[in-house]
Structures are given as C-alpha cells and as structure tokens.
Amino acid sequence: MPKFSPAPTVAAALLRMARDRADMTQGELAARAGVTQQAISAYETGRREPTLPTLLRLIEATGLELRMQLHPRDRHDDALAAYLASLPPADRAALERKARAQAEAARLRRVRGA
C-alpha cells in the first residue's frame, strides 16, 4: 500500500481533489485535457506548478469548476500554529502522528467507498 503523502501545494491539492471527485485516473484526465499523464503527475506531486489558466483548464476537464473568492483573513491558523509551537516536542510529535493517522483513515474510507 502506498504511503499517504499530503499534497505539497494548493494547486496539487485542488487538482487531486477534482480528479478524485470525478473518479478519473491521471491518464484519463490527461487524455481529456490534452496533456500527458506525466504532466498531471508532476502537477499533483508538486514537481511542477501549473499556471492559473492551466489549473482552471485541468479542473474543467474533470467536469468541475474552480470558484475563488476573497474574504477577510482568518487568524485561526496563526493561533493554532502559535499553540503548536508552544508545546513540548514530544506532545507536538504525538499530535502530528494522530493527524497523519486520521488523514490515512479518511483516505482509506474514500478509496474503499465506505
């Protein structure tokens, strides 16, 4: 079983989510978008970063559209980062292990259709 790895960039995460929602393989998306499977893989792993027009075109090829809005900044993430930085290293590592386990469990539920 492949090791779970979170998407390295926002574009990678968006593309991967769109492809998963469309239940498409990288090859199917590549054929529909007129690019190579290797290009899709490079975008999803963060080895390459698509331009915004390219990302929009790829997501559109999944049958979805990307909508963006501007909102006031939510400082929740800053507060969470400060809290995590204040924890002892062992406690922080335990929380990170728990988060990885939860993400893997969610991924398996998606893969298995549960």
- Higher-confidence residue of 55 and 2: namely 55
Sign of the CA dihedral running 64, 69, 73, 74 = negative
pTM above 0.75, yes or no: no
Closest by CA to 3, choosing from 108, 113, 114, is 108
**26 contacts 62 by C-beta, under 8 angstroms:** no
Instruction: Delimit the domains of the chain by residue range.
Output: 1-68, 72-114
pLDDT in tens, 3-58: 445 668 999 999 999 999 999 999 999 999 999 999 999 999 999 999 999 999 99
HSE toward the beta carbon, residue 83, CA cutoff 13 A = 7
Burial of 70 (0-12, 13-18, 19+ CB in 10 A): exposed
2 confidence band (pLDDT: 50, 70, 90)? very low
User: Is a pLDDT exceeding 80 seen at residue 1?
Assistant: no
Reported as a single tens digit per residue, the pLDDT across 60-110 is 999 999 999 998 988 988 898 899 999 999 999 999 999 999 988 888 888
Per CATH, the architecture of 1-68 is what? Orthogonal Bundle (1.10)
